[in-house]
Chains A and B, each alone.
Chain A
Amino acid sequence: AQSVSQHNHHVILSEAASLELGCNYSYGGTVNLFWYVQYPGQHLQLLLKYFSGDPLVKGIKGFEAEFIKSKFSFNLRKPSVQWSDTAEYFCAMIGGSQGNLIFGKGTKLSVKP
């Protein structure tokens, strides 16, 4: 069965620290991968997505993610976080050509000013 795992439930960082949020997926075929962000009290917004090509994907607000097929991973990174990055981050995948979006359980990021 297809699934997405996010390793950290809650990450606490100070401003200017570097961020890496882990995401692993379970699926043997072609996948399309997404990171969504949910700011407090708001709806989900797309940060970035990978469909094919360059495995290093750049998104909005300085975020990037790297698809490593051999590790079934799609980790999210940001070199220097800001207080405004405090949010919940969801990794998601679509496996195959007609699959639906499957979400991980989310990682809450708290950035201390």
Chain B
Amino acid sequence: DADVTQTPRNRITKTGKRIMLECSQTKGHDRMYWYRQDPGLGLRLIYYSFDVKDINKGEISDGYSVSRQAQAKFSLSLESAIPNQTALYFCATSDRQGATDTQYFGPGTRLTVL
């Protein structure tokens, strides 16, 4: 379970502030993902990265940006946070096996934007 870590675990911020959520993994996986979870909506993909030089938008990328600093690190930024970005954010990783990927999730970051 400690293979995928997220910092911070909880964050309360104000509208308009810039926020960075960080994800690190020791699994040696090439692929990393950022999701947000909202009650009743399941998990929705924000961004994903198949390797250090590959960044792709997911279903709901507006208002977010990412940086893949290294194979093991993938950060999610909210340039100017707004209240409807209040959610639980999960990072995940998977190995390079195409459609047979199993994704492994971090513990989540609970973000509240006031």
Contact = CB atoms under 8 A, between A and B. Distances in A.
Nearest to B31: A100
B43 A90 contact: yes
Interface of chain B, main secondary structure: mixed
Interface string B14-28: 000000000000000
Interface string A17-48: 00000000000001010101000001111100
B107 A49 contact: no
A9 interface: yes
Interface residues of A, number: 25
A83 interface: no
Contacts of A102: 45
Interface in B83-114: 90, 92, 98-108
Interface of chain A, main secondary structure: loop
A83 B36 CA distance: 28
A99 interface: yes
A42 B101 contact: no
Contacts of A94: 99, 101
The size bracket of the interface on B is 20 to 34
Nearest to A34: B102
A75 B1 CA distance: 26
B42 A106 contact: yes
24 contacts: A9-B40, A30-B99, A32-B100, A36-B105, A42-B107, A43-B1, A43-B108, A44-B90, A44-B92, A45-B105, A46-B103, A46-B104, A49-B102, A51-B100, A90-B42, A96-B99, A97-B98, A100-B33, A100-B45, A100-B48, A100-B58, A101-B33, A101-B103, A104-B42
Interface of A: 9, 30, 32, 34, 36, 42-46, 49, 51, 90, 94, 96-106
Interface of B: 1, 33, 40-45, 48, 58, 90, 92, 98-108
Name the 7 nearest CB pairs between A and B, nearest first: A105-B42, A103-B42, A44-B105, A103-B43, A43-B105, A43-B107, A94-B99
